[in-house]
Amino acid sequence: MSGPGRAAGPGGGIDLPESLARAADPDLGEVLRREVAALGPSALPLQQGLRHGSHVLDDGMQVTVLGIDREGAEVVARLGIFYWSVLAGCACADDPGPVNRNAEYCELRVRLQPGRRRTVIDPV
């Protein structure tokens, strides 16, 4: 799978073409926030950040840019991600209780490598 907003393979590679193209711009934070939010939870390594549930829900994600640093040819951003999870598989067959959504938060490190046209996203 390739193209805008698609996982580009193992190792956390993600396609963020607008952020890569504007890595030197002062408005990179807003561009990155918007582009990562458009990916949705299923494209990000959020499963590793779960604290209350066992499965990431694919709706209601919010992205906050916590900081951006330049390290040589690389731009490193730290993002805060608010999202939802459920604790799947814990209800008995006769339990009529509803599935409860859990609020989750994790931080991700985004490394933009414009010279290599590559982006890597890892949990912090």
37-62 burial, b at 16+ Cβ within 10 Å, e below that, comes to: eebebebbbbeebbeebeebbeeebe
Amino acid identity at 123: P
Tokens for 75, please give them: 């731009």
Q: What is the pTM of this model?
A: 0.82
Q: Distance (Å, rounded) from C-alpha 27 to C-alpha 51?
A: 32
Whole-angstrom distance, CA of residue 95 vs CA of residue 119: 44
CA 108 – CA 62 distance, rounded (Å): 13
| Chain segment 56-82, per-residue pLDDT in tens | 999 889 999 999 999 888 999 999 999
Tell me the pLDDT band of 98, cut-offs 50, 70 and 90. Answer: low
